[in-house]
């Protein structure tokens, strides 16, 4: 597992809400699974509940977001991302864990909160909301090449 990286930087005199999160990178045929929301792409996953491990967060979030089960295959690393969320009117310091994985099922009943979008890996830096998500995809590709 690589050392934690920091993306973005805190602005002076701004209070940041600490947020733990976990995400999965699923790559199939040079496309990465994303959740598309308001023209932005996010890796499947999200914020952790207080008593959840990163792995449990991913399983729960993928089920809620995409109505699918997921199998995690290896750890990619951790990163911290500073960002502002318009929807919450809140600045966050997100500490996220990333894993490579694969879908273990087709949609269970089609009632996920969001739609699965397959983004070409070459477009990740352009369309992912979080820079750390683009980093995680590149790390997953590098791990895949190394075997």
Pairing of strands 116-120, 90-103: unpaired
Per the model's pLDDT, the better-predicted residue between 67 and 21 turns out to be 21
Of 39-43, 76-80, 121-125, 136-140, which gets the smallest average pLDDT? 39-43
Residue 67 has pLDDT above 60, yes or no: yes
In this prediction, residue 37 has a pLDDT band, given cuts at 50, 70 and 90, of confident
pLDDT in tens, 119-133: 999 999 999 999 999
Interval 89-106 mean pLDDT: 94
Report all structural domains of the chain as residue ranges with CATH numbers, in order of start. Answer: 2-146 (3.90.79.10)
- Whole-angstrom distance, CA of residue 95 vs CA of residue 17: 11
Residue 75 has pLDDT above 80, yes or no: yes
- The DSSP symbol for 8 reads S
Beta-bridged to residue 82, according to DSSP, are: 93
- Whole-angstrom distance, CA of residue 7 vs CA of residue 102: 26
- Whole-angstrom distance, CA of residue 36 vs CA of residue 128: 9
In this prediction, residue 2 has a pLDDT band, given cuts at 50, 70 and 90, of very low
Of 47-56, 76-85, 106-115, which gets the smallest average pLDDT? 106-115
- Whole-angstrom distance, CA of residue 1 vs CA of residue 89: 33
């Amino acid at each position: 597992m690589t050392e934690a990286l920091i993306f973005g930087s805190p602005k002076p005199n701004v209070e940041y809400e600490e947020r733990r999160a976990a995400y999965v990178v699923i790559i199939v045929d040079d496309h990465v699974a994303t959740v598309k929301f308001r023209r932005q792409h996010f890796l499947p996953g999200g914020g952790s509940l207080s008593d959840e491990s990163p792995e449990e967060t991913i399983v729960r979030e993928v089920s809620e977001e995409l109505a699918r089960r997921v199998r995690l295959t290896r750890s990619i690393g951790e990163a911290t991302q500073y960002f502002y969320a318009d929807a919450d009117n809140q600045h966050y310091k997100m500490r996220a864990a990333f894993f490579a994985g694969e879908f273990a099922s087709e949609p269970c009943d089609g009632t996920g909160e969001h739609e699965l979008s397959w983004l070409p890996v070459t477009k990740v830096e352009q369309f992912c909301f979080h820079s750390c998500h683009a980093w995680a995809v590149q790390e997953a590709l590098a791990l895949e090449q190394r075997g």
